[in-house]
Structure 1
């Protein structure tokens, strides 16, 4: 399948999408139930997120990066002479979660002070991304963790709506700072 055909597949409305299989805890031997210790100590809860990610990329196997010489906070511009990723395995951008993430990249205007235009296709891509990642073990673990902590609903649809809201709802970028300026001057 050509890349352009592959990308078009991810541009369809969510109801017409093909998603990965739900991660089967039994098939992969994955436990997405947080332990008492993980519930009581946030840093311990972060380890399973990493361990449950069967889709994570491995340096040297899936990609190679060129870190360059680094730079100081005050330096402008890119100090690296090469691209950050000097090599990426051919199949990486065909993996469903990565492909769906890449479909989101062109949805945003990076210029501050300009209004975002959110199209129906953008909304479809957002919904498809949420649906895809919700099938992954790390997000299933996260959902259980938040349910047990009383932070979110046990209902999967409500959880997906919360993720979509947190990640994709727009916020003001231009006028908010101007509105706060008089307040900060009086302090």
Structure 2
């Protein structure tokens, strides 16, 4: 889905408008992980879920049709209808969702970098990412400075790496959210990655 609002995302990151910092909106919100959460990944994930005030709600924001299911050995798509039968009009207008969709368009390389930095800046204002930073600081695996953490996140997601015998041809973001065709000898007709519900809902969005 194209939106006129995305045109503003093509500006340099410093000239863009972002949502309010979640820390200023919810005074007293604590992003520091507890000892129990540091000792239990399951509890830390549950805390991340609780902090995600931007998540969409089934029945309210979307409706999915899971069909009748299929056996493990069945490889094809057994569903007769789209997974998403309905998606709320305002879902993809949410700042983080909208910036994510803008990243799926192919612009020039400089423009891509602008969008990558702006996307990380937007999500860095949300509760889950603030909590994630504090959690990883306590684990000693990321810098304590938040700006350095955002640079590290940008590098992890968007720096190029080699895949299928080719050098510097892929990124973690592309693999996870956009999907890739497997390389030579790996099943060239198969898609790898693509763990992205937004694109799965694209048919419904286009019909709206």
Q: TM class by shorter-chain length?
A: 0.7 to 0.9
Label 1:157 to 1:118 Cα distance change in 2 as closer, same or farther (>3 A).
Answer: farther
Is the contact made by 1:130 and 1:163 (CA closer than 8 Å) also made in structure 2? yes
Equivalent residue, structure 1, for 2:135: 145
Displacement of 1:70 in angstroms is: 2.8
Larger Rg: 1
- Write out aligned runs for 1:60-139 (5 A): 60-107=59-106, 119-139=109-129
Q: How far 1:131 sits from its partner (Å)?
A: 0.3
Aligned to 1:166: 156
Kindly indicate whether residue 22 of structure 2 is the aligned counterpart of residue 23 of structure 1: yes
Which has more strand, going by share of residues?
2
Sort the Cα spacing of 1:65 and 1:43 in 2 relative to 1 into closer, same or farther, 3 A: same
Secondary structure of the structure 1 residue equivalent to 2:163: coil
Residue of structure 1 equivalent to 2:190: none
**Structure 1 gap segments, 5+ residues each:** 108-116, 179-187
C-alpha distance in 1 between matches for 2:128 and 2:6: 25
> How many Å separate the matches in 1 of 2:70 and 2:108?
35
TM-superposition CA deviations, 1:21-42 (whole Å, max 9, x none): 1012673552211011111111
Unpaired stretches in structure 2, ≥5 consecutive residues: 167-182, 185-208
Separation of aligned partners in 1, 2:156 and 2:43? 24
Which is bigger in relative contact order (C-alpha 8 A, separation at least 6)?
A: 1
- Indicate yes or no: 2:48 matched with 1:49: yes
Question: Which residue number corresponds to residue 147 of structure 2?
Answer: 157
> How much has 1:73 moved relative to structure 2?
4.8
RMSD of aligned Cα (Å): 2.3
Deviation at 1:81, TM superposition (A): 1.3
Q: Report how many residues are paired.
A: 168
Residue in 1 aligned with 2:165? 175
* TM-score after normalising by structure 2: 0.73
Deviates more, 1:21-30 or 1:48-57: 21-30
Report the alpha carbon displacement of residue 48 of structure 1 after superposing the two structures with TM: 0.8
Residue 72 of structure 1: CA displacement? 4.1
